[in-house]
Structure 1
Amino acid sequence: MKFSLVMATLGRSTEVERLFNTLAEQTYKDFELIVIDQNEDDRVRRLVDSFSDRMEIVYLRSEKGLSRARNVGLQHIRGELVCFPDDDCWYRPDTLQYVAGRFATEPALFGLTGCSVAESGVPSQGRWATEELVVDRYNVWTCATSYTIFLRAEAVRQAGPFDERLGVGSGSRWGAGEEVNYLLGVLKAGMRVCYDPALRIFHPEPLLVMDEKAFSRARLYNRGFGRVLGLNAYPASFVLYLIARSAAGCALSLAKLNFKRARYYWIAASQRFLGWKD
């Protein structure tokens, strides 16, 4: 089975080179890397040229917007398995081998997701389920983020394009959630997706520093989170539960006099609500 790795990139080069190095070191070699470059300069093109003798790379350009870039990339996939690495994530040498093995032995499996960890091995990018699960519309929030999702090409065809109103660079208020919205499309088509916590993809933890950048990111991401809840008609009880979790985090942080983290949680709670009502 051939992999098509669809990677959009903007504003990074050192991180892209790290990912390229880990791809070149994969024990499973049957893959194409589809790079969708949104930079105005040639920083990524130079990296593509320097790695083109070590792996198959398709180089494309697109307008800004993560979902737009992925939709451009999806028009060029030739693999039976598709994934969406971030330009600042990276893989263990056996990642593709492990994923290919799962799909090869489980023909009824149309999607496999894993968890995100920092370089130290601790969880990054949120809370993660700790046991294997069949993914559904309620547990998906602790079972998947874009770069931990692997799909059969048939599932990609069923899901259709990414919603370009969602995600980083969309130009809307909804700066995240596009990958969960996409995966929900796979689930709606009746396709089996499983979560495997042993499938671990490296990605930095973005919330090590609580600054204005983190707060701005929280507004965009949680508004997008809420928008996906609304688009997919989640019941009010579930939405309010998710909002209440963030509100409780705010209260607990205030009790500990951690005012920056309290502010972060308040932004999360309020923006989830606003996104849901958009």
Structure 2
Amino acid sequence: MKFSLVMATLGRSIEVERLFVSLAEQSCRDFELIVIDQNPDDRVKAIVDRFREQMEIVYLRSEKGLSRARNVGLRAVRGEIVAFPDDDCWYARDVLSFVAARLDEDRSLGGITGCSVDHTGRLSQGRWANQPTLVDRFNVWTSATSYTIFLRAQAVAAVGGFDERLGVGSGSRWGAGEEVNFLLGVLRAGVAVRYDPALRIAHPEPLQSFDERSFTRGRLYNRGFGRVLGLNGYPWHFVLYLLARPMAGCLLALFDGDVARARYYWIASTQRMLGWADRG
């Protein structure tokens, strides 16, 4: 089974090269890397040119916006399995082989998801389910993020594309959630997707400190989180649960005297609420 790896990139080069190196070392060689470059310069093109002899690369450009870039990339897909690596993630040597084997073993599955780990192998980017499970609309929040999603091309076609109002660079208030929204569309189409924590994709932990940059990111990401809850008609009791978790973290941080952490969790809770209530 051929893979189509759709990677949008903006503002990075060292991280892009790290991903390319990890792909060049994959035990499974049947893949195309679709690069959608949103940089105003040729920093990524130079890396692409250096790696062209080591892997099949399709090089494209697009307007800014992660969802816009992915939609451009989806139009170029020729593989049977589609994935969306971030430009700062990287794959262990047998990641593609692992995915291909799992999907070959169970033809009823339209996709597989995994978890995120940092460079030490510790879980990163939030909470993750401990056990393998079929993904549904309630556990999706602990079973997938963009770069841990692998879908058969038919499942991707059932959705059609990413909502360009969501995600980094969209120009809206909703700076995240586009991949969960997309995966929810896959599930609504009746496609079975399985989460397997043995599938691990490496990615840096973004929340290294609680500073103004993390607060800004927290506002955009959590408002997008809330927007996806609203768009997909989640029941109020589940929304309340997802609002209460960071609020509890806020109170615990205040009890410990960690004002910066408390502020971050306050932002997370209130922005989720605002995103859920957003219209338009």
Could you say which TM-score interval applies, normalised by the shorter chain? over 0.9
Note the 1:1-278 alignment, pairs <5 A.
1-278=1-278
Return the letter of the residue paired with 1:38: Q
Find the aligned partners of 1:244 and 1:28 in 2 and give their Cα distance.
43
Find the aligned partners of 1:53 and 1:264 in 2 and give their Cα distance.
45
Return the letter of the residue paired with 2:97: Q
Cα deviation digits, residues 175-209 of structure 1 (max 9, x gap): 00000000000000011000000000000001111
Find the aligned partners of 2:267 and 2:133 in 1 and give their Cα distance.
30
Alpha-carbon distance, 1:21 to partner: 0.1
Find the aligned partners of 2:76 and 2:23 in 1 and give their Cα distance.
19
5+ residue gaps, structure 1, are none
Aligned-partner SS, 2:109: coil
Find the aligned partners of 2:211 and 2:148 in 1 and give their Cα distance.
27
Find the aligned partners of 2:124 and 2:214 in 1 and give their Cα distance.
15
Please, which moves more after superposition, 217-226 or 205-214?
205-214
Find the aligned partners of 1:25 and 1:161 in 2 and give their Cα distance.
30
Alpha-carbon distance, 1:263 to partner: 0.4
Pairs aligned (count) = 278
Find the aligned partners of 2:88 and 2:189 in 1 and give their Cα distance.
31
Find the aligned partners of 2:253 and 2:110 in 1 and give their Cα distance.
40
Alpha-carbon distance, 1:92 to partner: 0.2
Find the aligned partners of 1:73 and 1:157 in 2 and give their Cα distance.
13
Runs of 4+ aligned residues of structure 1 deviating over 3 Å after TM superposition are none
Alpha-carbon distance, 1:255 to partner: 0.3
Cα deviation digits, residues 215-256 of structure 1 (max 9, x gap): 000000000000000000000110011001110000000000
Question: So what's the TM-score if we normalise by structure 1?
Answer: 1.00
Alpha-carbon distance, 1:94 to partner: 0.3
Find the aligned partners of 1:166 and 1:34 in 2 and give their Cα distance.
21
Cα deviation digits, residues 55-89 of structure 1 (max 9, x gap): 00000000000000000000000000000000000
Identity percentage of aligned residues: 71
Question: So what's the TM-score if we normalise by structure 2?
Answer: 0.99
Alpha-carbon distance, 1:159 to partner: 1.2
RMSD: 0.4
Aligned-partner SS, 2:195: strand
Find the aligned partners of 2:161 and 2:272 in 1 and give their Cα distance.
24
Return the letter of the residue paired with 1:275: G
Alpha-carbon distance, 1:95 to partner: 0.3
Cα deviation digits, residues 85-142 of structure 1 (max 9, x gap): 0000000000000000001111001010000000011111000001101100000000
